[in-house]
Amino acid sequence: MNSARLIGIVGTYGVVVALAALVLFGFLRYERFLGFFNVMSVLRYNSMFALVALGMCFVIMTGGIDLSVGSVAALGSVASALASPHGIAAGVAAGVGAGLAAGLINALLVTRANLMPFIATLATMLAASGSALLLAGNQSVSVSYDSGFTAIGQGNFWIFPIPAVIALVAYVVGSVVLNYTSTG
């Protein structure tokens, strides 16, 4: 195999090979690494990152950049938690609304104010981070147990964690958008 072909294979499958190597290392090093509980915990607690990565996929594929995603996710989480005593619908609406507002600000800064996306999203990152801290009173915030958020976050759909199922559905929708619409 020549070096150009090897570089092509590594470029195409490098991340998959690296992930497989890490899983193999974990499996060889830790007895219960691939145990049911551990795998389900990874699926449950990393689903949010998968959703953020899906959104960033669309941004990066268009040649854009968004530095604000982490801070906007934090702002949405705080808004959801603060609204959760009023029910799950209010909590979801508050979180989605905070994310939509930040996205609209980013869009207006880039398209109307003609700021570079790096600068616009850097400013939004700082504003969202500060807003999240301000809303939370510089304290940790938790959801109301009566709101139903814990049932979603800690519940299962058959044997699969609900957050992982939500992420899977989002990825299927994203795949359909990319492969079967004019947007993709």
Mean pLDDT, the chain, integer:
93
Report the predicted TM-score, pTM, of the whole model to 2 decimal places.
0.85
- 167 within 8 A of 47, measured Cβ to Cβ: yes
Return the percentage of the chain with pLDDT > 90, whole number.
81
Q: Tens digits of per-residue pLDDT, 15-24?
A: 998 999 999 9
DSSP three-state, residue 39: helix
Domain boundaries along the sequence of the chain? 1-34, 35-64+148-184, 67-144
Structure confidence at residue 3 (pLDDT): 80
Q: How far apart are CA 52 and CA 131, in angstroms?
A: 19
Greatest CA span in the chain, whole angstroms? 63
